Amino acid sequence: MSLILGIDIGGSGIKGAPVDTDTGKLTAERLRIDTPAGAKAHDVAEVVAELVKHFDHSGPVGVTFPGVVQHGHTMSAANVDKGWIGLDADDLFTKATGQQVTLLNDADAAGLAETRFGAGKGEVGSVILLTFGTGIGSALMYGGVLVPNTELGHLWLNVDKAATEAEAWASDRAREQEDLGWKSWSKRANKYLQHVEMLFSPDLFIIGGGISKKAEKWQSNIECKTKVVTASLQNDAGIVGAALYALER
């Protein structure tokens, strides 16, 4: 058994647990700590260190980040402090924890977990995971191999003859802010999915985020040639994917 600590950084909470990377199962109860106000890098690093200490973990640690990650550097910061941009976060977390930390995008982590142990298990072709929440996160997998940092939520759509960013129009936050019914929102999601389908021709869409728990409210309104399923690992996907990524680096 390879035991790796996975930590998932979110806008409101940071959660972690040790993961058996042979089975994808958490080996201890998940611990969640509120994300520090402002989500500044050094404050978040202290929480990551606290989680490592809580689990008395020694060894590799995988950590997710809600933005673009290139070679351990955080290159965007949509919902966290702008000081993350260009930061060597791998180095920051490694020094804060005293353990070897490997960082990746949060949706990419979920994609890894779902294709290895969840809704995409056994799929040998191309899989696109899309998480509908505050924004739209994405992960592209081919033959189980991750193509990182796709950021497909930032695609532009033609809406009422105007260019509109997908996540500003079709995310779960847009649904809530505009008080859209599920049928109205699913029409938007359908237009977005068909656009992604046209660009990538995937073999499978996996839909994650909070809406995946309410599939009966929207899934029947989706009209894609590509098979559409909901994510199965739910809130554990980021933790599991982070652990897998750290193991394989």
- 136-183 pLDDT, tens digit per residue, is 999 999 999 999 999 999 999 999 899 999 999 999 999 999 999 999
The CATH H-level (homologous superfamily) assignment of domain 3-109+236-247 is: ATPase, nucleotide binding domain (3.30.420.40)
Calculate mean pLDDT across residues 56-68. 96
Mean pLDDT (whole number) for 70-75: 96
Q: Give residue-wise pLDDT tens across range 98-132.
A: 999 999 999 999 999 999 999 999 998 999 999 99
Indicate the pLDDT class of residue 18, thresholds 50, 70 and 90.
Answer: very high
Please state which CATH number belongs to domain 123-232. 3.30.420.40
- Is 11 in a helix, a strand, or coil? coil
List every span in the chain annotated with CATH 3.30.420.40.
Answer: 3-109+236-247, 123-232
Cα separation values, 199 from 5, 17, 151, Å:
36, 36, 14
Token pair recorded at residue 207:
């839909």
Query: Binning pLDDT at 50, 70 and 90, where does residue 24 land?
Result: very high
pTM of this prediction?
Answer: 0.94
Q: Which residues contact 170 (CB under 8 A, 6 or more apart)?
A: 132, 136, 157, 185, 188, 189, 191, 192
